[in-house]
């Protein structure tokens, strides 16, 4: 059987660049070589695409503090509008090996926000994960919250501000609505980058100044005290929902550092200790959030569960970290789907969606 050529795109200009490299490294190691031929395309921090050699595509791939993209001399460009040979080597003008599907693991800005999805769609290439709309919606936490709230899904109280509204952000005014303890986040980043938990005016002002270094739009949320429960979703029209997992934090905030640089700070309870009725209830809401926000392929839905049994959707992540030790693949492993089979399933979902979309009409003129 002919192997499927899978373009794995990783890196990118986002502050989550290093997280993306770790995700790609795990996928490359686990992908089924009997079915798939991986072609590695690394995007450096300036946005240039490199065709990488699998023998040495990352420096220090096991260390998040030192991991670095190997910049090759073979740069890649996309030719929109072609049905084949969409990617070429700029140095020679010659096409890459034909790619059958793309697995984009570019986390954060330009990777999860619909940008790379739109580029691949214009290039007529099937790709893993949500389409342009679902990616863009979920990346903007403010818009996602508005849509979920509109269909009756509980979310934490929040306010959003753009950088042009900086002079309208006042701690005392917000404290009357949200409480004196608040979370301040960039609206369009993940991996807990730029997130602060504040409870004084001084902490608040420092956090506001810092968060606008990452994004033009921020959200400020009430602090909800509760357990952090995660569900993994997988599928297009009829998605599956995994067993629940719980983030067990040893050292306060579930930060970028505790996620990727100090594994001793964080452990996961998989499956989470919940009764069956609560699991069923939360799975239904996770599925409702997935469908409301137009997700496809995969997503991780994160909840806060309070002591009185109430739960709130914190966010929906359309491209969660894919390192083998990350919670998304581990949830599926606990639910009966191992890491290699998960990759296989995601690639097949991408191809099925592409084939479905190819049947839609693109002209009103009769065929000749």
Q: Is residue 93 part of a domain?
A: yes
Angstrom CA distances, 254 to 228, 250, 291, stand at 10, 9, 27
For 301-338, how does the pLDDT look when each residue is reduced to its tens digit (9 = 90+)? 999 999 999 999 999 999 999 988 899 999 999 999 99
178 shares its domain with 231: no
The pLDDT mean for the chain works out to 91
> How many other C-beta atoms are found inside a 10 Å radius of the C-beta of residue 321?
23
Work out the angle at residue 120's Cα, subtended by the Cα atoms of residues 116 and 125, and round it to the nearest 5 degrees.
Answer: 150
Lowest model confidence (mean pLDDT) among 27-36, 59-68, 175-184, 344-353: 59-68
In a domain, 331, yes or no: yes
Known binder of ligand: residue 284? no
Indicate whether 254 and 343 sit together in one domain.
yes
| Shared domain check, 114 and 218 | no
* Same domain flag for 122 and 172: no
Q: Tell me, what's the pLDDT at 324?
A: 83
Choose, from 16, 18, 112, 333, the residue flagged as catalytic: 16
The enclosing domain of 255 has a CATH number of 3.30.470.20
112 marked ligand binding residue: no
What CATH number has the domain bearing residue 62? 3.40.50.20
Residue 274 counted as domain residue: yes
Mean pLDDT of 7-15: 93
Tell me whether residue 191 is one of the annotated catalytic residues.
Answer: yes
Residue 26 structural domain: 4-127
- Decide if 145 is inside a domain: no
Q: Is position 275 annotated in a ligand binding site?
A: no
Determine the Cα–Cα distance for residues 295 and 253; give it in Å rounded to an integer: 27
Taking 60 as the threshold, does the pLDDT of residue 180 lie above it?
Answer: yes
The answer on pLDDT for 183 being more than 90 is yes
pLDDT at 76: 95
pLDDT attached to residue 256: 46
The annotation status of 237 as a binding-site residue, yes or no, is no
Tell me whether residue 222 is annotated as binding: yes
Residue tagged active-site, from 14, 72, 196, 326: 326
Cα separation, 221 vs 231, whole angstroms: 22
- The pTM of this model reads 0.91
Residue 228 marked in a binding site: yes
| 113 appears as a binding residue in the annotation | no
Q: What residues contact residue 123 under an 8 Å CB cut-off, 6+ apart?
A: 78, 79, 80, 82, 86, 87
The tens digit of pLDDT for each residue in 93-145 reads: 899 999 999 999 999 889 999 999 999 999 999 999 999 999 999 999 999 99
- The verdict on residue 361 lying in a domain is no
10 Å Cβ neighbour count for 227? Answer: 18
Number of structural domains found in the chain = 3
Asked if residue 93 and residue 20 are part of one domain, the reply reads: yes
Q: Answer yes or no: 16 catalytic.
A: yes
How much is the pLDDT for 367? 59
CATH number at residue 216: 3.30.1490.20
Residue 315 annotated as binding? yes
Does the annotation place 54 within a ligand binding site?
no
Residues linked to residue 205 through DSSP beta bridges, in sequence order: none
What confidence category does residue 251 fall into, taking pLDDT thresholds of 50, 70 and 90? low
- Whether residues 339 and 308 share a domain: the answer is yes
Query: Count of CB atoms within 10 A of residue 239's CB?
Result: 19
Catalytic residue among 135, 191, 242, 258: 191
Is 321 in the active site? no
Question: Do 234 and 253 fall within a single domain?
Answer: yes
Does the annotation flag 9 for ligand binding?
Answer: no
| 265-290 mean pLDDT | 93
């Amino acid at each position: 059987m002919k192997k499927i050529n899978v373009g794995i795109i990783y890196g990118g200009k986002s502050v989550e660049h290093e997280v993306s490299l770790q995700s790609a490294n795990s996928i490359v190691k686990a992908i089924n070589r009997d079915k798939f031929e991986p072609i590695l395309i690394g995007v450096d921090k300036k946005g240039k695409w490199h065709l990488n050699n699998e023998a040495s595509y990352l420096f220090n791939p096991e260390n998040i503090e030192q991991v670095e993209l190997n910049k090759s001399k073979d740069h890649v460009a996309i030719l929109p509008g072609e049905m084949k040979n969409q990617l070429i080597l700029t140095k020679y003008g010659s096409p890459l090996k034909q790619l059958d599907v793309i697995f984009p693991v570019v986390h954060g800005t330009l990777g999860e926000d619909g940008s790379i999805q739109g580029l691949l769609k214009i290039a007529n290439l099937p790709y893993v994960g949500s389409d342009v709309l679902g990616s863009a919606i979920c990346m903007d936490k403010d818009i996602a919250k508005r849509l979920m709230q509109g269909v009756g899904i509980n979310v934490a109280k929040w306010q959003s501000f753009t950088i042009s509204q900086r002079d309208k952000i006042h701690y005392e005014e917000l404290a009357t609505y949200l409480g004196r303890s608040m979370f301040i986040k960039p609206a369009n980043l993940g991996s807990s980058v730029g997130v602060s938990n504040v409870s004084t005016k001084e902490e608040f002002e420092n956090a506001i100044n810092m968060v606008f270094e990452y994004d033009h739009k921020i959200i400020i949320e009430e602090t909800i005290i509760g357990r952090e429960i995660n569900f993994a979703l997988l599928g297009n029209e009829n998605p599956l929902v995994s067993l629940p997992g719980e983030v067990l934090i040893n050292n306060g905030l579930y930060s970028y550092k505790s996620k990727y640089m100090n594994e001793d700070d964080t452990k996961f309870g998989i499956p989470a200790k919940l009764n069956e009725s609560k699991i069923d209830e939360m799975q239904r809401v996770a599925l409702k959030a997935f469908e409301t926000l137009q997700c496809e392929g995969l997503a991780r839905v994160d909840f806060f569960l309070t002591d009185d049994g109430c739960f709130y959707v914190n966010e929906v992540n359309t491209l969660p970290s894919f390192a083998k030790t990350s919670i998304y693949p581990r949830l599926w492993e606990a639910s009966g789907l191992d890491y290699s089979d998960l990759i296989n399933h995601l690639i097949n979902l991408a191809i099925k969606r592409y084939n479905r979309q190819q049947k839609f009409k693109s002209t009103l003129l009769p065929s000749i």
